[in-house]
Amino acid sequence: MLHVRGLTVAFGGQPVLEAIDFDVGTGEFTSLIGPSGSGKTSILRAVSALLRPQSGTVALDVPLNDVGFLFQDDALLPWRTVRQNITLGLRIRGFAPKAAVEKAEHWLSLLGLEGFGDRYPRQLSGGQRKRVAMAQVLVLEPRLLLMDEPFASLDAIVRMRITEELLSWVEREHMTVLLVTHDLEEAISASDVIYVLSQGPQATIRARHQIGIARPRRVLETRRDPLFAPLMQLLWEELSE
């Protein structure tokens, strides 16, 4: 699905990332973990063409329009209602208003936000805004979903619930995902493959791990899997070196 080769990203002459190579297979859930400042976000920005790399290539098997990006913050358009925010991408793709609204309603009920369509983002809680941001991206049925620590700002309970919902949806739809996070438990619970980045500047990929925990998974149960604790230990050591 995604093939990154020799990706180097620099800000003001100082390389943040150097010669990054990794692949995301179709249908795989891949995570990039690394310390803060290792340029994880820059990788996603380069993949989605928001950032021009110094050198290297990003090859996608699908058009850029099939790539969804769920950001760390939930900056929805404050002057648009929840419904208008969700239909935004559909309208950009030229959907008829009626069809777009129908899809939006479907997602609202899927995410437990029935009746919130006419609200403005200001009137929602953090968790609700995050769900709307998810709907805004998922309603477009992306073939590759990029996520940049999407749930970092949520409290633990809401976070667990939303991760669970997303995970079951990704598994059902066999969606390809590239997640950037510094939460090791989240990465292990969700991923098929984990890449570990070294400390920046000039961060690079230092390890690749295949996560063999059986699917379908439930976040809490994965933590009791015999594979979980050793992996946690290994990743922790790699990151703290």
Partner 1 sequence: MKTLPHHRLSRRLLALFVLLTLWESMSRFGWLDPFYLPAASAVANVLIELVASGQLWPHLQATFVAAFGGLVAGLVLGIGLGFAAALSPLLADLLEPIMVLLNAIPRVILAPLFVIWLGIDLASKMALALILVAVLMFFAVYNGIKEVDQRLVERIQTLGGGRRFLIREVYVPSVTAWVMGNFKVAVGFAFTGAVVGEFVASSRGLGYLLQFAQSTYNAALTIALIVVTMTFVLLLFALSERLERRLLRWR
Minimum Å gap between C-beta 70 and partner 1 is: 9
Among 59, 75, 99, 229, binds partner 1 (CB under 8 A): 75
Encoded amino acid at 133, one letter: A
Per CB under 8 A, 99 contacts partner 1: no
Per CB under 8 A, 93 contacts partner 1: yes
Q: Facing residues of 33 across strands?
A: 181, 196
Among 65, 109, 125, 233, binds partner 1 (CB under 8 A): 65
Is 24 in contact with 194 (CB distance < 8 Å)? no
Segment contacting partner 1 by CB under 8 A, of 83-91, 178-186, 187-195, 218-226: 83-91
Q: Which is nearer to partner 1, 144 or 213 (CB)?
A: 144
Per CB under 8 A, 64 contacts partner 1: yes
CA–CA separation, 108 and 83 (whole Å): 8
Instruction: Of 76, 67, 74, give the one whose Cα is nearest residue 46.
Output: 67
Minimum Å gap between C-beta 133 and partner 1 is: 9
Per CB under 8 A, 215 contacts partner 1: no
Per CB under 8 A, 77 contacts partner 1: yes
For residue 224, give Cα distances in angstroms to 160, 180, 220, 227, 233: 16, 23, 7, 8, 14
Is 59 in contact with 93 (CB distance < 8 Å)? no
CA–CA separation, 26 and 158 (whole Å): 29
Segment contacting partner 1 by CB under 8 A, of 14-22, 134-142, 172-180, 221-229: 134-142
Segment contacting partner 1 by CB under 8 A, of 72-80, 178-186, 201-209, 210-218: 72-80
Is 162 in contact with 154 (CB distance < 8 Å)? yes
Per CB under 8 A, 95 contacts partner 1: no
* Cis amide prior to 97 (ω within 30 degrees): no
Among 3, 5, 80, 223, binds partner 1 (CB under 8 A): 80
Residues in contact with 52: Cβ distance below 8 Å, sequence separation at least 6, in sequence order: 46
| Residues making contact with partner 1 (CB under 8 A) | 48, 50, 64-65, 67-69, 71, 73, 75-80, 88-89, 91-93, 120-122, 136-137, 140
